[in-house]
Amino acid sequence: MSLQLNRSTFGDPVNSGNVLSRNEVEKLLNEWVLNDRLKLHMKQVAHLMKSWAKEKEELNDDDVWKWEMAGLLHDADWDQWPDQHCKKIIEELEMKNVDPEIIHAIASHGPEHFGVEPETKMDKMLYAFDELSGFIHAYSLMRPNGYEGMEVKGVKKRFKDKAFAASVSRDDINDAADRSGISLDELIGFAIFHQQQS
Ligand SMILES: [Fe+2]
């Protein structure tokens, strides 16, 4: 099964600035995503995107929502249409005339799988937080106190344990960190701190 998108442009520039409301996003998620774990994953990634956009990029509220929206919707089609993953949500957002920046971020959240390179900071951070967020969540579930007292070095130790959260691609996490230009330690520290509050 190939998920390659075989496209390099997404959405229409004329729709720049167009977003969905929070209610519209929630409605779409409720209809498309029946798996609560997947919904939680997207919410966690969205929280990291929002927090990064606000704190590190110091973006205005409208732009912060774009980052959050990309996080909330990036895997929306994975539950019911895994063979159309990414393609289906992209087409849906194009049909709804959503800002091309948001669609491009979703299209490039797995360059290896979809064949689309992350270009903007939003693209790169979505790619960076996606697998990392899932990994840290899995780690929290096996710790007696969850996120409490979790340290960067503990997460990195688990990285080396290939049997742990085996489905999470360490290569993707390292590649994403490289492309973002932010050290893995900083990304992990940021994700631990913010994910425990989400
Ligand atoms: Fe994801």
Residue-by-residue pLDDT tens, the chain, 198 positions: 789 999 999 999 999 999 999 999 999 999 999 999 999 999 999 999 999 999 999 999 999 999 999 999 999 999 999 999 999 999 999 999 999 999 999 999 999 999 999 999 999 999 999 999 999 999 999 999 999 999 999 999 999 999 999 989 999 999 999 999 999 999 999 999 999 987
Residue 78 CA, ligand 1 centroid: distance in Å? 9
Domain housing 107: 18-195
Residue type, 90: I
Structure tokens at 128: 């960076």
Residue 1 lies in a domain: no
- Separation of alpha carbons 131 and 84, rounded Å: 19
Residue 7 lies in a domain: no
Residue 10 lies in a domain: no
Residue 9 lies in a domain: no
Residue 106 CA, ligand 1 centroid: distance in Å? 10
The CATH number of the domain holding residue 121 is 1.10.3210
Residue 119 lies in a domain: yes
Q: What is the largest CA-CA distance in the chain?
A: 50
Residue 8 lies in a domain: no
Residue 151 CA, ligand 1 centroid: distance in Å? 23
Residue 4 lies in a domain: no
Q: Is 50 exposed, middle or buried (0-12, 13-18, 19+ CB in 10 A)?
A: buried
- Separation of alpha carbons 105 and 88, rounded Å: 14
Residue 75 CA, ligand 1 centroid: distance in Å? 5
Q: How many domains does the chain have?
A: 1
What pTM does this model have?
Answer: 0.96
